[in-house]
Structure 1
Amino acid sequence: MASLSMSDFKNHRERFFSQMSDNSLALFSAASEVTRSNDTEFNFCQNKSFYYLTGFNEPDALLVLLKRDNKTQAILFSLPKDKDQEVWHGRRVGQEKASQEYGFDQCFTLDEQNDLISQYLNGLTQVYFAFDDKLLTQKVFDLLAQVRSAVRQGVKAPSQLVDASPLINEQRLIKSANEIELMRQANYISILAHKRAMQQTQVGLFEYQIENEILHEFTRHGARHPAYATIVAGGDNANILHYTNNDDRLNNNDLLLIDAGGELSGYAADITRTFPINGKFTEPQKILYQLVLDAKSQVIAAIKPGTCFITLNAIANECLTKGLVELGILSGNIAELVEEKVCKRYFIHGLGHWLGLDVHDVGDYHMNESRQQCREFTPGMVLTIEPGLYMPLDDNTIDAKWRGIGIRIEDNIVVTQQGCENLTQDCPETIADIEALMAN
């Protein structure tokens, strides 16, 4: 299975070290297992920032980054080797292997963390940790209290606490060449899954049967898990943005909206395609679909370093508004409708978001006073572009021919030095290409 090398994770740690003040310590917690029912757990999903810095995929571990006298150490605390536990719950990496294969400077068991970290903290100035991690926050305060209790013995506790989240989030926002290549592969697998879904869809099947085809294709190519709950929404269900019931029957002359992406070595793809269940678009479906596709194409053509979501939203708003006026769905002065963003009545979500280890990835959008995303794009950012139009079945303000149609088309885009790369360009999106694929 494709993955980053241990040197990539070490590089991530080195980049974070470079942001730390001298005589400081940073703490990053692994995730814990989550109970599904009684004594069974959900599939384990690692804390993404911890994973970004370690590549280590066991629960309850703790990473310590120590920077003292401008020398750095990466120290891991993790579960010990235990034959009795491992025969029931699976093999553990252990401390020796973690040191040898994961590139940590020192590795200890979880039971050793309190005493050793208290020693590390003595004489330091700053502690970095994620303030929104309640369990880790409590651990930090407990450790600091432990250090301060020995002040009469000459021990000195750090006096400055720094939120690590903005630092690690900014670092994660700009992907390395190796991260982008891994996301390219995640998209390749996800594209195969969307093609399979188009080819397997038939009138009378259930949405969950198509979901199964998608998950099968993910797994067949090494993406063991979906990056998020798969949306397979037939007909009017597509007008529910986060529809995941996936339990309705697929009806003739309806569209099927599929929002699905695989996760490969922790990195997400996020693709949406909308296509006719019977393989042929009706005329109203064609018209609305082409309008959404035109908006997406115009937006992606404008992506380059220096632009921002404000510019892209203006392009999508103008394209969709003009189209909806031409169709009689909106009426009035086009300039005023654009200014008032009236098309949001039918395009009800955002145009896109950052993508990476999380499907809605971390990173500041730099919101201005008008709550517009004004951050300029720079090479290495990965984002989605996903315009849509949603015409609910019960909306009696529009002509009956539009009702029950929900369309979204979503691509994954890398900002490059010259412009952008569409990681999703090989996933069928034109009316002709979709109908040709479904006819085979």
Structure 2
Amino acid sequence: MTPDIAPYLERRARLAAQMQPGAVAILATAPETLRNGDSDYPYRHDSYFYYLTGFTEPESVLVLVAAQGDTPVRSVLFCREKNLERETWDGFRYGPDAARTAFGVDEAYPIGELDAQMGKLLADAPALYYALGHSAQLDAQVSGWLKAVRAQGRSGIAAPASAHHLPGILDEMRLLKDGGEQAIMARAAGIAAGAHARAMRFTRPGVFEYEIEAELLHEFRRHGAQFPAYTPIVASGASACVLHYNANNRSCRDGELVLVDAGCEFDGYASDITRTWPVNGRFSEPQKRLYELVLQAQDAAFAAIVPGRPYSDFHDAAVRVLTGGMLDLGLLDKSRYGSVDDAIAAKAHQQFYMHGTGHWLGMDVHDVGPYRDLTQAARPSRPLMPGMALTVEPGIYVRPGEGVPEEYWHIGIRIEDDVVVTQDGCRVLSAAAPKGVAEIEAVMREGA
């Protein structure tokens, strides 16, 4: 299928417009990585590279030359040569000629010509942009190219006088998702939402966590997702209080909850959804009380996601609701803390809620971009803008402890959704994943 190259052309033009006139940007894709023996890990392109090209083959480099005077922006792709023998073993390759047309670059060369061409591309360029210090291999290559250019100094050819960190510019670009990106992310979230519903129907006492994981992965792939966006967490019982648990090897027991954090990657974009449900299909009263508290915290966080408000506001809103609930339910001692504000000031809530309420989402599940306004000396939380995509994931994790009511011991709950900031609030991309108590219990009865 011929890719729609318009978004990539526009992004390259936007990047070039932020570069010094005539400057050169270099962006390499991810390397193939050996797993063991002669087997590689499944290949996944570099997100920055894909953002600017849409090209998914390994051994590829994009060079972008910014406009200068009457000379327009110039894009150059280096990729693997067309090789019918290797395609018999490894599959289709575009080759430079087809790639130039299919991906809208001005020039394309075999990757083997990279060293020779870079000497020409960098000659007399005023500045260089690339991922400084990101790859030892690329740093060494750049150093070699610059030495080769400087060696021509007697001929009046100059090397770039300055180097700039390219990801800093691209991070700001990637933070705002256009309509096409939002549509892909909605598709990824929809697939993952369906997988969570399938996993709920499958769950019953005695199943192993890895069996639930298998249901998720099956549903991801069945609907066209290329990968899980990250290793799924399927944590039953006390394991749900381990934030990054992923052993997924325990038998789920009657009366416990299972916390499932799982998302898929579709066409380069991640979804990230967490749901928590009862193994036997029915929430106990203590489980229900804590679950509905987390649900209320998430609703408060959604309400705080408004363009112009600081990123930190939705976390603060969730913390306020959770802390109030912890005091009301006896998880925190009311006699010790005079108010919700006092408890928050003392960070008392962190005994049961120790993580942030969300993160950027996009090509990477923890997507790029600073959370603070780096243009101001105080580095305040940056304001939200339409097109930003993020997760909203409050939780509560109750381990046994002195003064902690035993009815809540070993209960871990997280509820996570994917949202995009709109002109007047936010749109929940993952709303199809069952979430309310009654809704979850009804879905689980369908699989009984």
Specify if TM > 0.5. Answer: yes
Alpha-carbon displacement from aligned partner over 1:390-439 (angstroms, at most 9, x marks no partner): 012x4344122111100000011110112111112221111011111111
Q: Does 1:374 align with 2:375?
A: no
Residue 300, structure 1, aligned to residue 307, structure 2: no
1:348 Cα shift? Answer: 1.1
Whether the aligned pair in 1 keeps the contact of 2:3 and 2:103 (CA below 8 Å) is no
1:282 equivalent to 2:281? Answer: no
- Partner SS for 2:277: strand
Matched, 1:205 2:204: no
Alignment correspondent of 1:131: 132
Q: How many residues matched? A: 438
Q: How does 1:54-65 map to 2 (within 5 A)?
A: 54-65=53-64
Amino acid at match of 2:393: E
In 2: Cα distance, 1:78 partner to 1:63 partner: 9
CA contact (8 A) 1:4 1:178 kept: no
SS in structure 2 at match of 1:80 = coil
**Helix, strand or coil for the counterpart of 2:235?**
strand
In the alignment, which of 332, 338, 345 is matched to residue 333 of structure 1?
A: 338
> What is the CA–CA distance in structure 2 between the aligned matches of 1:370 and 1:271, rounded to whole Å?
35
Distance 1:123 1:208 in 2: 57
1:234 touches 1:250 (CA, 8 Å); kept in 2? yes
Aligned to 1:67: 66
Aligned counterparts of 1:372 and 1:430: Cα–Cα separation in 2: 38
For 1:249, give the aligned amino acid.
S
Alpha-carbon distance, 1:351 to partner: 0.9
Mean Cα displacement is larger for which, 315-324 or 352-361? Answer: 315-324
Q: What per-residue deviation string (whole Å, max 9, x for no partner) do you get for residues 311-348 of structure 1?
A: 22221121111111111110121231122231111111
Selected match of 2:439 from 413, 433, 439: 433
Measured against aligned partners, the alpha-carbon deviations of 1:9-63 in whole angstroms (never above 9, x if no partner) come to 2221111111111110000011111111111011001110001001111112100
In structure 2, the CA distance between the partners of 1:53 and 1:279, relative to structure 1 (3 Å rule), is same
Secondary structure in 1 matching 2:248:
coil
CA contact (8 A) 1:34 1:42 kept: yes
The reply to whether residue 362 of structure 1 matches residue 363 of structure 2 is no
Q: Distance in 1 between matches of 2:234 and 2:287?
A: 18
User: Which residue of 252, 257, 260 corresponds with 1:258?
Assistant: 260
Match of 1:346 in 2: 352
Task: Tell me the TM-score normalized by structure 1.
Answer: 0.96
Give the partner amino acid of 1:354.
W
- In the alignment, is the contact (CA less than 8 A) between 2:27 and 2:130 conserved in 1? yes
In the superposition, the TM-score normalised over structure 2's length comes to: 0.95
Kindly indicate whether the alpha-carbon contact (under 8 Å) linking 2:294 and 2:395 is maintained by their aligned counterparts in 1: yes
Deviation for aligned residue 1:88: 2.0
Match of residue 247, structure 1, among 240, 246, 249: 249
Distance 1:300 1:89 in 2: 46
Q: Tell me the distance in 1 between the aligned counterparts of 2:380 and 2:388.
A: 15
In the aligned structure 2, how far is the partner of 1:69 from the partner of 1:348? 51
Give the one of 299, 321, 324 matched to 1:322.
Answer: 324
* Partner of residue 24, structure 2: 25
Following the alignment from structure 1 to structure 2, what is the Cα–Cα distance between the partners of residues 420 and 316? 16
Distance 1:415 1:94 in 2: 39
2:412 corresponds to which residue?
A: 406
CA deviation string 1:168-193 (max 9, x = no partner): 01000001011001101111111100
Distance in 2 between residues matched to 1:370 and 1:143, nearest whole Å? 37
Q: Structure 1 167/35 Cα, relative in aligned 2: closer, same or farther at 3 Å?
A: same
Paired position in structure 1 for 2:234 = 232
Letter in 2 for 1:310: S
1:98 partner amino acid: A
| In the alignment, structure 1 residue 43 sits paired with structure 2 residue 50 | no
Moved more, 428-437 or 394-403: 394-403
1:218-260 Cα shifts (integer Å, max 9, x gaps): 1111102111111111111111111111111010000010101
Distance 1:371 1:241 in 2: 31
